[in-house]
A and B are shown apart, each in its own frame.
Chain A
Amino acid sequence: MSVPKPFSERYEAALANDALSESLLSFQRSWRDTRDAQILDLESISGLKAEALSSGLAAMKDGVIADLPATIARFRAAAEAAGAIVFEATTAEQANEYIAQLCRDRGVRTVVKGKSMVTEELFLNEHLERAGIKAIETDLGEWLLQLDDDRPSHVVMPAIHRRRQEVARILERELGVPFDDDDIPAMVRSARTALREHFLSAGVGITGANALIASTGSTLLVTNEGNGELSASLPPVHVVVAGIEKLVPTMADAMKQVRLLARSATAQSITTYTSFFTGPTPGHEMHIVLVDNGRRAMAAEDWSSAALRCVKCGACANVCPAYQVVGGHAFGHVYTGPIGLVNTAFHHGIEAAAGPQSLCLSCGACETVCPVEIPLPQQILQVRRRVAEEVGIPRKRRLAMRAFASRRLFGLGVRLAAIAALPFRRGRFTKAPFTARFTTWRSAPALPLRPARAHGALHASRAAIARTEATGRRVTLFMQCVSDRVAPEVVLATADLLRAAGCEVDIPEAQHCCGLPAIDSGDDANARRMARQTLEVLAGADDVVTPAPSCAIAMLHDYERLFEDEPVWQERARRLSGRVYDLTGYLVGPARLPDGVLARGDTRPVAIDRFCQGANVLGRGDTLETLVRGLTGANVVPLDEAEVCCGFGGSTSLLAPDLSRGVLERKLDNVRASGARVLLTDNPGCLLHLGGGADAADMDVTVMHVAEYLAARLPGR
């Protein structure tokens, strides 16, 4: 097996492979259903909520990570007492050379291997090959990839990117007999026969470990095929290679991990084989190679240490919309999926992480299924900040960000663009030939000549239609830069709804951008500048309401982190966070209007896109559906995968438009299947993305911000 090709080649190859995204889509859908059922099952078995089980596992792993030397010492003593030889390797080179030397000392030229991500990380096979030792993978998927000089694209299902026709050809080449493309059982039988010869002739068996149990010195290994068990017990020498983060204190802790691992990985309650190896079998040898290779550095930093909790289940990839479109070769390096965007920086360097991390849409789905609660979205953003500092910000992202940095320049730019685009206006959209790459699949909006702030209606008073908790409150409307300049109707509708709920609406002229595009780009300096400016503008209001939940989330979740080394600004951010609402949150909270006060009678089926971060970060479920149905009596129809990202993803859609398009297609297919004629979203970025996509695809559906839909039903509007 070779080392990964350059990122741009991997990304282009993935985009060219339609079969890949189709098969990953069907995989993600079926995994989600089965996994959710398995988690419910575990809740009923254990009598505990999934969150409690995950927090328990996370706390156990954190305890180990916080005290690695003591846990390693306990494990070493117990393993040695059981007769194993323990070797601690700081670098990949040390680990590889220890194993190569062991093979040389025993006169071994052929080793069999169970599936092991850490040996992929170390490039152990390549090292052994250079030493004249042949390493044979025995996991079926890994073996097939090895035969074809390919690499795993998923931590659990390595060959998920390969089709059965390709597998048949690989086996024909290796075994010299023909295979029927549709006879998978025959392929598996032949693999069993071929691999059995290797098990019987190899002099060393190498496996990874899912856990290292400190109290007994045992190593835990789970497989479904049984190949790991055979690799461990047939050859006279068993070598276990494991990262130091695999340590757990006791068997009971290991079993807690077992309960969550298979459910999160393959959505099984338990794997077929769950094996504990404690010392060698009589007359044999067992070596345990404990690998650092960047792990202690990962443990040493506050932002990254939680990534060491990872149990390599792959759940994060299984819900990642970007992974679905491009697979693990592009969305990852050696380690794939969201966790791969983080740990690659430590195992293989920041350069190796730079390309893959640029594909993250920041939707937050990964964190919601992680069985050890790794804050992956924040960690990926931190990797992006590192990439920005050490590798540089990509030109497109830098330009986009610069455009947002100044209120005047941004306003002027949009106005000039609006004038230039006037001849190309087609209704609500612009069809200009020179922006084809971005607009053939997503029509650009017709840019308004006047921003929201210049509309008299925004500042006019309006009578309240009901008494709410927010009646009489002074609300600062944070318009959001994009809505103000590109979708002023959203801002006008928001102001109308707030006034209808009895609020006194204040619109500071100096407001501009919250800094999200800079945060999202890993551009710390600009992010801080814009966040400070926003904090100054918003000081003093009772409540702050914005029609953009993405901006509210930036203020609520990102500001405090952004200012972690500036206590004064961090305190201001903390004070603001108690008063910030997105419009949806305000409408279902203090400004909840009574059901039925808005005009009814629109019978068109309405689908509601659940803004991904709203669902994943704020924990919103059917909040908007209930609100819209209650206020207007609308015919709200179910939308499959409503909380899966639409592909907007801020600057990622600019940097990786083809990825963004792939994610959008999944959403639009779901919208088509829902039969909706109106599609509502509560995030302005998604509004432009979905609206443009639906227009370019000629769909018979009107895409609106929920504020527009509701405000249009206010009395007298």
Chain B
Amino acid sequence: MTTGTVLLDELRTRALAAQSVVHELPTWADVAALALALAGDEAVAVTPTLAAAHPELAAALGARLLLPDPASPFESVADAAVGIAEGVLAVAESGSVLLAHDARADRAVSMFSRIGIQVVSRDRVVPSLGDAAAWLEANEGAVSLATLVTGPSRTADIERSLTIGVQGPSDLHLVVLG
């Protein structure tokens, strides 16, 4: 096994333990296909940053693409069936994706969709939380909102009964791209 395979196996194991679903997909068109399948016949929200960086994703979603309204980003994507965001790193140690957003519209998509898809390029899978710390230290000031997301939103506040899906998405798909 190559180091890459070991890393990916660890990421998959940890992400599954956090109740994420892990996919390996070759292209953005495949990401779009996954999103459309998960959305049924509803719209798919995409973070403005990702839509600008990868027009092929927006193109593949066609009329089903939903972009947040800059004037009221959260209201405009509230309860979208699926929201796609790109992460800057995936951390094998914890099964997390590091989302680094400077725009609230990006966060609106990642937090307010019912199903979240987080895409990380294969070469951005890192072994440890220490690597995430190094990225955050190096990118000081570049991002105002950075969140390591590990699985779907959850609570155990009522009689310690684990309930998935509180404020954030109740299903989370982690896509390793390429």
Give A residues with C-beta under 8 Å from B. 23, 27, 45, 78, 81-82, 138-141, 144, 157-160, 162-164, 167, 184-185, 187-189, 191-192, 195-196, 199-200, 215-218, 224-227, 229-230, 232-234, 250-252, 254-255, 258-259, 266, 269-282, 284, 286
Q: Is the CB of B136 within 8 A of A270?
A: no
| Selected A-B contacts with CB under 8 Å, 19 pairs | A45-B93, A141-B157, A144-B157, A188-B158, A216-B137, A218-B140, A227-B166, A229-B167, A232-B145, A234-B74, A251-B133, A269-B18, A271-B150, A273-B148, A274-B96, A276-B136, A276-B146, A278-B146, A281-B145
Q: Is the CB of B145 within 8 A of A233?
A: yes
Q: Is the CB of A159 within 8 A of B78?
A: no
Per the 8 Å Cβ criterion, residues 127-165 of B in contact with A are 128-130, 132-134, 136-137, 140-141, 143-161, 163, 165
Q: Is the CB of A225 within 8 A of B136?
A: no
Which 5 A-B pairs give the minimum distances between C-beta atoms?
A: A226-B168, A141-B157, A226-B167, A225-B166, A255-B133
A453 CB to nearest chain B CB (Å) = 53
Complex formed: what's the CA distance from A187 to B14 in Å?
A: 29
* Among candidates A167, A230, A234, A276, residue contacting B158 with C-beta atoms closer than 8 Å: A167
Contacting residues, chain B, for A278 (C-beta < 8 A):
140-141, 143-144, 146
Write out, one digit per residue, whether chain B residues 100-128 have a CB within 8 A of any chain A CB (1) or not (0).
Answer: 00111001000100000000000000001
Contacting residues, chain B, for A215 (C-beta < 8 A):
137, 140
Contacting residues, chain B, for A200 (C-beta < 8 A):
74-75
Q: Is the CB of A158 within 8 A of B152?
A: no
Complex formed: what's the CA distance from A164 to B163 in Å?
A: 13
Contacting residues, chain B, for A192 (C-beta < 8 A):
165-167
Contacting residues, chain A, for B47 (C-beta < 8 A):
none
Q: A157-B156, A226-B111, A278-B140 are in contact. Are A272 and B102 (CB under 8 A)?
A: no
Complex formed: what's the CA distance from A23 to B159 in Å?
A: 8
Q: Is the CB of B163 within 8 A of A230?
A: no
In this assembly, does B52 line the interface, its C-beta being within 8 Å of a C-beta of chain A? Answer: no
Q: Is the CB of B157 within 8 A of A140?
A: yes
Chain B residue with Cβ nearest A221 = B147
Contacting residues, chain B, for A280 (C-beta < 8 A):
144
Q: Is the CB of A184 within 8 A of B137?
A: no
Chain B residue with Cβ nearest A164 = B159
Contacting residues, chain A, for B145 (C-beta < 8 A):
232-233, 275-277, 281
Complex formed: what's the CA distance from A227 to B81 in Å?
A: 20
Contacting residues, chain A, for B159 (C-beta < 8 A):
23, 162-164, 167, 184
Give B residues with C-beta under 8 Å from A. 14, 17-18, 74-75, 78, 93-94, 96, 102-104, 107, 111, 128-130, 132-134, 136-137, 140-141, 143-161, 163, 165-168
Q: Is the CB of A82 within 8 A of B144?
A: yes
Q: A82-B144, A216-B136, A258-B129 are in contact. Are A272 and B93 (CB under 8 A)?
A: no
Q: Is the CB of B158 within 8 A of A159?
A: yes
Q: Is the CB of B17 within 8 A of A269?
A: yes
Complex formed: what's the CA distance from A225 to B99 in Å?
A: 17
B44 CB to nearest chain A CB (Å) = 20
Contacting residues, chain B, for A266 (C-beta < 8 A):
156
Q: A251-B136, A278-B143 are in contact. Are A270 and B157 (CB under 8 A)?
A: no
Contacting residues, chain A, for B168 (C-beta < 8 A):
225-226, 229, 272-273
Q: A27-B160, A164-B158, A281-B145 are in contact. Are A274 and B107 (CB under 8 A)?
A: no
B134 CB to nearest chain A CB (Å) = 7
Chain A residue with Cβ nearest B140 = A216
Chain B residue with Cβ nearest A233 = B107
* Among candidates B102, B151, B155, residue contacting A188 with C-beta atoms closer than 8 Å: B155
Q: Is the CB of B140 within 8 A of A252?
A: no
Complex formed: what's the CA distance from A118 to B128 in Å?
A: 31
Q: A81-B141, A281-B102 are in contact. Are A229 and B147 (CB under 8 A)?
A: yes
Count CB-based A-B contacts (< 8 Å).
175
Contacting residues, chain B, for A271 (C-beta < 8 A):
150
Contacting residues, chain A, for B18 (C-beta < 8 A):
269-270, 272
A254 CB to nearest chain B CB (Å) = 7
* Among candidates B103, B130, B144, B155, residue contacting A224 with C-beta atoms closer than 8 Å: B155
Contacting residues, chain B, for A272 (C-beta < 8 A):
18, 149-154, 168
Contacting residues, chain A, for B140 (C-beta < 8 A):
78, 82, 215-218, 278
Q: Is the CB of A225 within 8 A of B167?
A: yes
B49 CB to nearest chain A CB (Å) = 13
Contacting residues, chain B, for A163 (C-beta < 8 A):
159
Contacting residues, chain B, for A139 (C-beta < 8 A):
157
Contacting residues, chain B, for A159 (C-beta < 8 A):
157-158
Complex formed: what's the CA distance from A493 to B17 in Å?
A: 54
Contacting residues, chain A, for B157 (C-beta < 8 A):
139-141, 144, 157-159, 225
Q: Is the CB of A273 within 8 A of B144?
A: no
Q: Is the CB of A282 within 8 A of B102?
A: yes
Q: Is the CB of A250 within 8 A of B156?
A: no
Chain A residue with Cβ nearest B169 = A226
Given A139-B157, A191-B166, 13 more pairs with CB closer than 8 A: A141-B155, A184-B158, A252-B134, A255-B132, A270-B96, A272-B18, A273-B147, A274-B150, A277-B144, A278-B143, A279-B144, A281-B104, A282-B144
Q: Is the CB of A275 within 8 A of B146?
A: yes
Complex formed: what's the CA distance from A435 to B91 in Å?
A: 63
B101 CB to nearest chain A CB (Å) = 8
B74 CB to nearest chain A CB (Å) = 6
Q: Is the CB of A251 within 8 A of B134?
A: yes
Complex formed: what's the CA distance from A271 to B148 in Å?
A: 9
B144 CB to nearest chain A CB (Å) = 5
Q: A230-B111, A272-B152, A273-B168 are in contact. Are A185 and B163 (CB under 8 A)?
A: yes
Complex formed: what's the CA distance from A163 to B159 in Å?
A: 6
Q: A225-B166, A226-B153 are in contact. Are A250 and B144 (CB under 8 A)?
A: no
B168 CB to nearest chain A CB (Å) = 3
Q: Is the CB of A270 within 8 A of B141?
A: no
Complex formed: what's the CA distance from A216 to B135 in Å?
A: 12
Contacting residues, chain B, for A259 (C-beta < 8 A):
129
Chain B residue with Cβ nearest A250 = B137
Q: Is the CB of B137 within 8 A of A252?
A: yes
Chain B residue with Cβ nearest A78 = B140
Contacting residues, chain B, for A284 (C-beta < 8 A):
104
Complex formed: what's the CA distance from A184 to B139 in Å?
A: 41
> Which of A162, A167, A217, A233 gathers most chain B CB within 10 Å?
A233
B77 CB to nearest chain A CB (Å) = 12
Complex formed: what's the CA distance from A191 to B155 in Å?
A: 11
Complex formed: what's the CA distance from A217 to B140 in Å?
A: 9
* Among candidates B133, B149, B152, residue contacting A252 with C-beta atoms closer than 8 Å: B133
Contacting residues, chain A, for B93 (C-beta < 8 A):
45
Q: A216-B137, A226-B167 are in contact. Are A275 and B147 (CB under 8 A)?
A: yes
Chain A residue with Cβ nearest B146 = A276
Q: Is the CB of B147 within 8 A of A252?
A: no
Complex formed: what's the CA distance from A163 to B157 in Å?
A: 10
B128 CB to nearest chain A CB (Å) = 8
Contacting residues, chain B, for A160 (C-beta < 8 A):
160
A709 CB to nearest chain B CB (Å) = 40
Contacting residues, chain A, for B154 (C-beta < 8 A):
224-225, 272
Complex formed: what's the CA distance from A140 to B17 in Å?
A: 23
Complex formed: what's the CA distance from A581 to B161 in Å?
A: 47
Q: Is the CB of A252 within 8 A of B151?
A: no
Chain A residue with Cβ nearest B131 = A255
Complex formed: what's the CA distance from A276 to B171 in Å?
A: 23
Contacting residues, chain B, for A254 (C-beta < 8 A):
133
Q: A226-B166, A278-B141, A281-B104 are in contact. Are A140 and B155 (CB under 8 A)?
A: yes
Q: Is the CB of B143 within 8 A of A252?
A: no
Contacting residues, chain B, for A252 (C-beta < 8 A):
130, 133-134, 137
Contacting residues, chain A, for B75 (C-beta < 8 A):
200
Contacting residues, chain A, for B14 (C-beta < 8 A):
269
